């Protein structure tokens, strides 16, 4: 017998036996198949499984107007779009349609998505692709240029998977950080690293553009902007911002504690829905929960009640804690404001209120936002006399649109004077909101619970930022 033939026989037999075993295993019921190696399902895999369904792909359509611009080298960070949006005398316009890709994070099952403001800035259409491939259109509810955060609403037919929010005040240098997003348009990408540093400031064109960021070596590239940075528990600890696109090993994220604070302003039912209960609210501190005798995960504290408003008519008072709205538990100010976005003027809301040791159930009729005098509030709180920009004024200042408020006079030594404002300045943003009327300014000023507010203004063809101490 040929030795070569003898040598092949055992090999062929082994192959036949192996193939038979594979077929038998494939035909066996699922319960009899060997389980997946549990050692491969690491904590990182579990965290990604928990959080990735909440990360969405965002694409936008924009109309961009390009002009020659002698002020280009003098602009502040992020001012490019302001110049294109507001100024008309820098050459002949050339419009073109463009699209951008970014990421977003579902923070609420009802379809609220957080992303970077620069991802959706001036978008005419916003398209979102969910993790399961479903494509939906979104609408921009509100945005904050200073924090580079925006809130989008998806009107879906079913609840969406939302990422649980963690904390960023207790982050540890060296702990695991996982970045999820769509870098370069590649959907559902995951990169891992550690928290490299906290409270980082980033300079663009020699000026501070971001402050207080989380730095990580998890890769964050263009398209990752607006995506999630999560911890080993799959909890959101930051919103990614792609800044150093050519840097290796350096990524940044906006801390989730700041995101949560900005969301309180973005979920502003008074501005979005123009509805009114006549109260101011804030989150309760850990110490306050014990003092007000509410559960650890419950309550929006009332810090002010307007005389004559719906809340005052029901004898609500400062120090009361709202624990439920229409039977839905209120965990904090954010959840309360989110519920109020569903209400229209004339609706009735049922509030469960904790006052010291007693619990009350109150029925309030939602009112339309009263129209306070923006002129009077600007004078009393800012020391400013303002005028709405008319089309004629817009043309004289070289503005493409009649937007903003013109400073016509200032109180000597008042907040605006001390901040360096001048007659002829045009205020285009106040805090997180674009301002184009005295009515809108009045609503924002009336709700302001800070002693300082930021604004963006135009002066002689250049953009400036200022911080005012309100009275």
CATH code where residue 279 lies: 2.30.42.10
Looking at the structure of the chain, the number of domains it has is 4
The answer to whether residue 66 scores a pLDDT higher than 80 is no
Q: Indicate the residue among 368, 386, 403 that finishes a domain.
A: 368
Q: Could you tell me if 201 and 141 lie in one domain?
A: no
pLDDT recorded at residue 104? 94
pLDDT recorded at residue 255? 96
Side-chain-side CA neighbours of residue 220 (13 Å): 31
* 72-119 pLDDT per residue, tens: 333 344 444 444 555 544 444 444 555 667 899 999 999 999 999 888
In a domain, residue 164? The reply is no
Q: Indicate the residue among 312, 339, 368 that finishes a domain.
A: 368
In a domain, residue 100? The reply is yes
In a domain, residue 241? The reply is yes
Q: Could you tell me if 281 and 353 lie in one domain?
A: yes
Q: Indicate the residue among 214, 231, 257 that finishes a domain.
A: 257
Q: Which domain holds residue 219?
A: 176-257
Across the range 190-200, mean pLDDT stands at 93
Q: Could you tell me if 181 and 212 lie in one domain?
A: yes
In a domain, residue 18? The reply is no
Q: Could you tell me if 253 and 283 lie in one domain?
A: no
- Catalytically annotated residues: 118, 148, 225
CATH code where residue 212 lies: 2.40.10.10
Q: Could you tell me if 56 and 97 lie in one domain?
A: yes
Q: Could you tell me if 343 and 315 lie in one domain?
A: yes
140 versus 188: which is more confidently predicted? 140
The answer to whether residue 399 scores a pLDDT higher than 90 is no
401 versus 352: which is more confidently predicted? 352
Q: Could you tell me if 96 and 80 lie in one domain?
A: yes
Q: Could you tell me if 57 and 128 lie in one domain?
A: yes
The answer to whether residue 408 scores a pLDDT higher than 60 is yes
Q: Could you tell me if 199 and 291 lie in one domain?
A: no
In a domain, residue 116? The reply is yes
In a domain, residue 36? The reply is no
392 versus 279: which is more confidently predicted? 279
43 versus 448: which is more confidently predicted? 43
* 213-241 pLDDT per residue, tens: 999 999 887 778 899 999 999 999 999 98
Contact between 47 and 231 under an 8 Å Cβ cutoff? The reply is yes
- Per residue in 113-134, is it b (16+ CB within 10 Å) or e — as a string? bbbbbbbbbebeebbbbbbeee
Confidence of residue 185 (pLDDT cuts 50, 70, 90): low
Rounded distance between C-alpha atoms, residue 210 and residue 77, angstroms = 10
In a domain, residue 41? The reply is no
Q: What is the pTM of this model?
A: 0.67
Q: Could you tell me if 363 and 338 lie in one domain?
A: yes
Q: Could you tell me if 282 and 253 lie in one domain?
A: no
Residue with tokens 């040791």: 357
Highest mean pLDDT among 19-23, 230-234, 367-371, 412-416: 230-234
Q: Could you tell me if 107 and 134 lie in one domain?
A: yes
Least confident span in 239-243, 244-248, 255-259: 244-248
In a domain, residue 396? The reply is yes
């Amino acid at each position: 017998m040929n030795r070569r033939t003898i040598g092949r026989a055992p090999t062929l037999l082994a192959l036949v036996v192996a193939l038979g075993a594979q077929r038998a295993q494939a035909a066996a019921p699922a319960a009899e198949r060997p389980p997946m190696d549990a050692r491969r399902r690491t904590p990182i895999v579990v965290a990604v499984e928990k959080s990735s369904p909440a990360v969405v792909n965002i694409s936008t359509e924009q109309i961009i107007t390009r002009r020659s611009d002698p002020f280009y080298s003098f602009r502040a960070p992020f001012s490019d779009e302001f110049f294109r949006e507001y100024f008309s005398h820098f050459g002949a316009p050339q419009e073109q349609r463009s699209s951008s890709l970014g990421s977003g994070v579902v923070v609420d099952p009802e379809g609220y998505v957080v992303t970077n403001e620069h991802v959706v800035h001036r978008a005419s259409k916003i398209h979102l692709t969910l993790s399961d491939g479903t494509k939906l259109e979104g609408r921009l509810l509100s945005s904050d240029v200073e924090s580079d955060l925006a809130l989008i609403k998806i009107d879906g037919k079913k609840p969406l998977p939302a990422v649980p929010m963690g904390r960023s005040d207790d982050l540890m240098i060296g702990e695991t950080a996982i970045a999820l997003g769509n870098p370069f348009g590649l959907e559902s990408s995951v990169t891992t690293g550690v928290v490299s540093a906290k409270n980082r400031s980033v300079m663009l064109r020699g000026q501070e553009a971001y402050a207080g960021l989380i730095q990580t070596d998890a890769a964050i590239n263009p398209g990752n902007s607006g995506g999630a940075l999560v911890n080993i528990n799959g909890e959101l600890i930051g919103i990614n911002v792609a800044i150093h696109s050519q840097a290796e090993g350096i990524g940044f994220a906006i801390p989730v504690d700041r995101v949560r604070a900005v969301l309180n302003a973005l979920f502003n039912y008074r501005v979005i829905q123009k509805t009114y209960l006549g109260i101011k609210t804030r989150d309760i501190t850990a110490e306050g929960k014990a003092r007000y005798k509410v559960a650890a995960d419950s309550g929006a504290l009332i810090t002010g009640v307007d005389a004559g408003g719906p809340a005052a008519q029901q004898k609500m008072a400062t120090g009361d804690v709202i624990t439920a709205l229409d039977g839905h538990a209120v965990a904090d100010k954010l959840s309360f404001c989110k519920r109020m976005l569903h209400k229209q003027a004339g609706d009735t809301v049922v509030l469960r209120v904790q006052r010291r040791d007693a619990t009350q159930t109150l029925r309030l009729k939602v009112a339309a936002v009263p129209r306070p005098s923006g002129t009077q509030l600007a004078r009393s709180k800012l020391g400013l006399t303002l005028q709405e920009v008319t089309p004629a004024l817009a043309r004289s200042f070289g503005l493409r649109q009649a937007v903003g408020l013109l400073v016509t006079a200032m109180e000597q030594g008042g907040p605006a004077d001390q901040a360096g404002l001048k007659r002829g300045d045009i205020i285009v943003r106040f805090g997180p909101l674009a301002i184009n009327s005295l009515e809108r300014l009045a609503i924002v000023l009336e709700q302001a619970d800070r002693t300082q507010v930021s604004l963006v203004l135009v002066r002689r063809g250049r953009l400036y930022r200022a911080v005012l101490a309100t009275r």
